[in-house]
Structure 1
């Protein structure tokens, strides 16, 4: 079956290849933002998410990203929302 990860939104497990890896990066102003790690090889901790707007909404409501990524403070979800086509 291959490596298995847990979605931070719905908390169900799935194959690593079926999930998106989300990491903390910085924008042009040096502020922390969440980005989708397309190649699954960016440095740092990663959080795994099903590529569905519903899972993103659940993760945001549960404040799962700061906890999973061990990051204090607010994180900008705009890049992840744009990747998923979420409103």
Structure 2
């Protein structure tokens, strides 16, 4: 019978920072490096629904969120792939103009 004298004891687990996936480029990043976006339902008056995709930089808005690198390349890729509807689980007309404007202003100030 052999006795194990050097037993590996796992180090205490530290709480790691949350990791999210960008819906544009599909790369996984720390949540602090990504922008959270949510869909807000707006009535159009004719009975159809319009979902406005808005930025949530403080990560406090209610509802299902999706994550995106705050650059126009990822925004365009997500738009082309129709990723917003799938990630936010909404269907219908999507308006990304508020998100587009937010990214434009953010780029000008950096």
Same fold per superposition (TM over 0.5): yes
TM-score (norm 1): 0.90
- 1:25 deviates by 1.2
Residue 40 in structure 1 maps to residue 59 in structure 2? yes
In structure 1, what is the Cα distance between the partners aligned to 2:43 and 2:93?
16
Structure 1 outlier segments of 4+, above 3 Å: 26-31
In structure 1, what is the Cα distance between the partners aligned to 2:90 and 2:79?
14
Unaligned runs of 5+ in 2: 1-15, 106-110
Match of 1:23 among 16, 38, 49: 38
| Aligned residue in 1 for 2:87 | 68
- 1:26 deviates by 3.7
**Aligned-residue CA RMSD (Å):** 1.8
Unaligned runs of 5+ in 1: none
Report the structure number with the largest CA radius of gyration. Answer: 2
